[in-house]
A and B are shown apart, each in its own frame.
Chain A
Amino acid sequence: MKQQLPYRLKPLQRSYILIKVVEVATLCLAIGLLTWALLGWINVSDATRWITTILVAGLSAITMAYFQRLFALDSNLLIRILNNNYPELEESVDLLVSDEAELNLVQRIQRSRIEKKFEHIYPQIKIPNNVKATSKTAAALVFASLMLMAFAPDVNQTEQGPLKQEIEKLNAQVEETKLESILVTITPPAYMAQPTHTANDLHLVVPEGSTVSWKITFNKPASAALIFSGRDSVALASDKVKTYTRKITDAGFYQLVWQDKGNWILSDYYKIEIVKDQPPKLDITNLEQFTKFAFAQPLKVEVKASLQDDFELAEASVIATVSKGSGESVKFREERLKFDSPPRISGKQVQAAVTLDLIKLGLEPGDELYFYVEANDNKVPISNYSRTETFFIAIQDTTQYSAVEDEGLGVDLMPEYFRSQRQIIIDTEKLLKEKKKITTQQFKFTSNELGYDQKVLRLRYGQFMGEEFEDQIGGAAVSPADLDKDETAEETVLRLSHQHDTENEHNLVEQKKATVDTHDHEHGEDEKDPLAAFAHQHDDGEQATFFVESVRAKLKAALTVMWDAELYLRLYEPEKSLPYQYTALKLLKEISNDSRIYVHRTGFDPPPLKEEKRLSGDLAEVRSYTGISKRPDQQDYPAIRQAQQVLEKLIVGNKNLTDKDKLVLTQAGNELAAAALEQPGKYLDGLSVLKKLVEGNVPETEWQSSIAVLRKIFMQVAPRAQESPSEKTQAVHVLDQQFLKNLND
């Protein structure tokens, strides 16, 4: 029943539609803006962004229009609105739109009444609307969009900056095939839990084991390749967009080459630096390396450790070794203990703690506990491992003994095979005094002999450090346990005569305590002598445990100065050797005060050599020996040396490179690339300059500085030799030659 609205209703209808359309339009524009802003957070192309925005806005407009019934507008809607809102019209607005002819009488009467009323209220008629709500919603949406846009990530920004400049630089020399973009994506290995990111520089710094992919876009298909470290070249697919993915395990550099109208365009060299995954850093914070407890103390030790890794710690534990027993029956037991707190080790930095219950571990007086902390990180396939130094905990043996040695018993009946440090000092001083009286030969001989004695002494003490490899010099060490009651008189003399062979021979210092004592026999086999307990431990020298830590350090220092003392004795400079000998003596004295040391007399007395028999043996069967030796191989960089000469030519202003020069420079580049592999940071600049030079791309202004850079780098790469004699040549006139030949005749 489509009818023509009477003239008063028509403008009402029009304004109603207008209001609705404005509402819908405002809302869908706001929705469109929001969509645009949201898309800003995702990396999409501009076209997609536009299309999506328009689609969303359009769809929402249609939907809203549908629900607002904008598509199904008829006069009834308006009539209903008027009827509902204006009771004065007595629900009879429909009469106004009906055909007058179809109405009955009552209707006609009513119609005329209503018409009058309608005329009357017409100016006050207000069509209901949602303008307020709509504008609020729209305002909220617009604000949200503005915020979204303000904080949107700069997805496209990464392509600007150095990368863009680099591409422009590369395109400068290109005629047809232009580089459009390079996208380098670095994916660190999964265990590092680091996000994939795009590099904004072609010089890459990547974590070890990362996967790097290059996406290179050209404006047209062309053949191209990536050259890694100057030797490993990868041809890329000949599409417009080329991708290549590589797992980076070694540092190096790479270069992009592509073909442009038959010319090969070579990019600069870009370095690839590796950031290595470091092993965990461990530290025990609350303990000294050597701790001693009396048995009475509460035997619990808290071990606090700070653990650190650059990515993630995977596991950590305390390895504790208990050593029990003495002599041959020493026993070791190893236990792996977990940390009490935190129960599971994870994270970059952990403060872990564990309480060692010494009783639970089974320690008794005299026993020792060695422990260290070890940790692994989460690197795959092989995790990085590190450990702390070994810490010592000892429970003091309360059953200590002291020894007294009878003095004056010893008569040195043994030959001087083995001199003490004090004796060596005395002999050295004597030698220096007599230096002027004896011949040089004798002086040197004696000095050398003293050097030998010093060596033997050093080796003897060295044995206690676990330096077992030279123990053929002396006999086996005698432990106090071996000394029993049944020794013969000779044995006693042999044993006691040591006393006069020590550094304290002349009783210059207070007599030290002897290890061998009267209590020895009473304690019998149960005696827990720490020295004896560890005597058979076949450790390496670094960790030998014959002595407590401080003694070990001192003994080590003593051995070091003994080396020096021997060196100068053997260089026939006894005066220089003396200070070292005094230091050695001082250290040995200190050690002897800390702990008893056994030094056994030993040696080999060679029979005297008969001079007249020398070189007189029957050697008929012996054949002459011929040895060949060669100068050690050395990387000599022949092309770099030639290139140096080319550069010198270029300094004088001649800026044209011949083909031969270019060849030489290219070869030098190869040699430099090999050197650069070892130190990319140092020589990579040179490689780039060299490349430019060969291609003739060095601008006038940079010419001098480029040459200077290359000259310097070549000078550094080419190895330096030592001063060496050289053959001299001379052209001599025949007359001069004759003159010289007959001179002195």
Chain B
Amino acid sequence: MISAIQFNAQVPASVVITVAVLLFAIFSWLEWKRQARFFYARLIALLIAILSLTAFVLRPAYSTNSDSAGVIVLTPGYNKSSADSLKKIYQHYHVVATEQLDKINQLLEYKDQIRFVLGVGLPAYVLPDSGFNFLASPLPTGITQLQVPAKLIANRKASLSGVWHGEPGTLTLIGPEGKIDSTSVSAGSFQLSFIPQQPGKFLYELEIDGKKELLPLEIHAPKPLDVLILQQYPSAEIRYLKNFLIDQGHRVVVRTQISKNNFRFEFGNRAPATLSRITTEALSDFDLLVLANESAALDEAAIKDALRTGLGVLWLPSENELGKPPLGFEFVKVNADTALVNFEDQTVTLSAWPVNARKDFAIIKNKNRVLAGYKRLGAGKVGYQLLTETYPLIAKGQAKIYNHVWTNVVETLARISAQSTAMKITNSFPVYPDEPLNIEVLATNPEVYLDSTRLPLLEHAVIDNLWSATAWAKENGWHQILSATDSVTTNFFVPDFNSWVALRAANLQKATKEKAGGSLKFEADKLSYKTVSPILFFVLFVLAIGFLWLAPKL
């Protein structure tokens, strides 16, 4: 239904009109009786007064022209000629250029009226869900894609990759300690690697052609693990592994069999405790159980139980176990008793048991075979290490390789400890100040704060414990989302408006393209009505009544 005028009366219009007609009849009769001058003028004034009163109640609204509801949004980088031709075709469309707006949020006013978006695009939250056309401009020069590892750990090699859009140049990564890595880039993808040295929140810089972008990185310190090592007789390999773990601050217990019922215990970084029996309960304190030359046949049931609840088990086989491996592993005999292992640009030869296992997930492998692997058992992982002697690496001054090999094996197998809350920001970087941040929370009864503001959370309609919230960061800089129930925090960085322009443009284009509909939906245009201001009627009413009062006195 298309009509020019609409009434938004709160009482039925017929009643109002009836009352109005009645009132007019009564008052015009009274005026006629008065026998004063200006009868016709008074009658007209009366009519106006009554009509104004009626309008108060009926609240008329007029429709704006249906076609003029469309809005063309010009975002930076739009093609001028296409904008001009669009304006010619849709002359009644309203044209908004984002460059003239103080804040992008002002576009929310036109959210449902947007018909065309030209240029780099708009953030998803100001766009209608569909029904508009997007004429994308080419991306500006800069980094248009950037992948940073989700979690960076200190002293571990990390690499970040991305896509450069622009003239060839040299891209340099600068950390707090100075220049770290650089690569020459031409249009296309690039990769930079570095070893973050200290834990904390740091602002690295990516520099190209003298232009710098702040790259926020949060470096985490390694969290110590609880490791239990059981061995039947001491060996150099275990001795070095134990020292390595203790030196790195992990909590280690080593149990060495001395005789049938005698054990030698060594506690590293933890208080001595009795551990005569290996029970599921005792194992729940540990993240990793290392079985060295030790079949632990007696405790197999307890270990399997603990495995299901998440414990990691590392089995270091001895030669006689290889033929009939425990824990359900299957090995195939091979000839080579050494293996080449690559680390960065070095290749070292390490001795290894002459077997191969193809079924399992690999932790360390070379092109021929799996040298360390694991399989899942319940929530836990059980793995093995076929490299027999890695400790000579330390004697040869290749401790870095040793650390890398064992870090890899230990961390892969160790228990993944349960955290009661997980929080995630779903927006892609960068999000500027005052832009909505979408936060996803996985927790039972979360209480989440952004900096110190408590966030209202909305639970997912179908999925239990999945919550979402929208928040706004006011200033640029680091911000923190905190779960008050368990002190889990997530840090994120809000950059300055003028930074990461190219990446932002790429994000906007992606978001806009996702929402832009294939065809224009003019028929779906809704009429919008504008209510006539009641002040107008009030003024008319006062004038009319005033004349009626004045007329007899003239």
Contacts and interface: CB of A to CB of B under 8 A. Distances in A.
B248 A624 contact: no
Contact of A744 (B249, B376, B392, B410): B376
Interface stretch (A239-247, A374-382, A578-586, A725-733): A725-733
B442 interface: yes
Contact of A741 (B262, B263, B319, B379): B379
Interface stretch (A113-121, A544-552, A709-717): A709-717
Nearest to B351: A572
Interface stretch (B67-75, B85-93, B165-173, B413-421): B413-421
A626 B265 contact: yes
B200 A622 contact: no
A645 interface: yes
Contact of B247 (A623, A631, A653): A631
A727 B249 CA distance: 12
A619 B351 CA distance: 36
Given A727-B224, A744-B376, A651 B203 contact: yes
B351 A712 contact: no
Contacts of B198: 641, 644, 715, 718, 720
Contacts of B443: 731
Nearest to A570: B392
B269 interface: yes
A242 to B, nearest CB: 41
Contacts of B308: 741
Interface string A333-374: 000000000000000000000000000000000000000000
A737 B309 CA distance: 9
B266 A648 contact: no
A631 to B, nearest CB: 5
A731 B378 contact: no
Interface string B39-65: 000000000000000000000000000
Contacts of B421: 731
Interface string A408-435: 0000000000000000000000000000
A238 B250 CA distance: 56
B178 interface: yes
Contacts of A220: none
Contacts of A649: 477-478
Contact of A648 (B403, B404, B420, B478): B478
B420 A624 contact: no
A630 B200 contact: no
A297 to B, nearest CB: 52
A705 interface: no
A544 to B, nearest CB: 29
A617 interface: yes
A652 B496 CA distance: 9
B425 interface: no
Interface in B263-287: 263-269, 272, 287
Contacts of B351: 572
Contacts of B417: 727-730
A742 B419 CA distance: 20
Contacts of B202: 644, 648
B337 interface: yes
B411 A641 contact: no
Contact of A711 (B176, B378, B392): B176
B259 A744 contact: no
Contacts of B177: 711-712, 715-716
A494 to B, nearest CB: 39
Give the bracket for the number of chain A residues in contact with chain B: 35 or more
A645 B200 contact: yes
A615 interface: yes
Contacts of A654: 477
B411 A732 contact: no
A715 B176 contact: yes
Nearest to A443: B337
Interface residues of B, number: 80
Contact of A734 (B199, B221, B465): B465
Interface stretch (B27-35, B128-136, B152-160, B521-529): B152-160
B246 A648 contact: no
Given A624-B263, A725-B250, A740-B379, A644 B176 contact: yes
Interface string A631-674: 11000000001001101110111100000000000000000000
A624 B265 contact: yes
B476 interface: yes
Interface string B365-393: 00000000000111100000000010010
B515 interface: no
Interface string A599-640: 000000000000000011101001111111111100000000
A156 interface: no
B158 to A, nearest CB: 11
A619 B258 contact: yes
A722 interface: yes
Interface string B174-199: 01111000000000000000000111
Nearest to B202: A648
B185 to A, nearest CB: 24
A744 B381 CA distance: 12
Contact of A629 (B175, B268, B337): B268
Contacts of A623: 262
A721 interface: yes
A393 B44 CA distance: 145
A124 interface: no
Given A617-B259, A648-B478, A726-B220, A631 B269 contact: yes
Nearest to A721: B155
Nearest to B307: A744
A721 B269 contact: no
A641 B201 CA distance: 10
Contact of A728 (B319, B411, B478): B411
B419 A725 contact: no
Nearest to A632: B247
B211 interface: no
Nearest to A567: B395
B406 interface: yes
Contact of B222 (A616, A627, A726): A726
A731 B465 CA distance: 11
Given A571-B392, A723-B155, A743-B378, A728 B266 contact: no
Nearest to B251: A631
Contacts of B376: 740, 743-744
B200 A626 contact: no
Contact of B246 (A630, A731, A733, A745): A630
Given A652-B476, A726-B222, A726-B411, A712 B176 contact: yes
B248 A722 contact: yes
Contacts of B155: 720-724
Contacts of A740: 376, 378-379
Given A715-B197, A721-B154, A732 B262 contact: no
Nearest to A631: B249
Interface-central residue, A714, A729, A743, A744, by most chain B CB under 10 Å: A729
B128 to A, nearest CB: 33
7 contacts: A648-B203, A649-B477, A720-B155, A724-B249, A724-B407, A730-B419, A742-B378
Given A619-B260, A730-B418, A737-B379, 12 more contacts: A619-B262, A624-B265, A625-B264, A626-B272, A631-B249, A644-B200, A647-B176, A648-B202, A724-B155, A725-B225, A729-B418, A744-B376
Interface of B: 153-156, 175-178, 197-203, 214, 220-225, 246-250, 257-260, 262-269, 272, 287, 308-309, 319, 337, 351, 354, 376-379, 389, 392, 395, 399-400, 403-404, 406-407, 410-411, 414-422, 442-443, 464-466, 476-478, 496
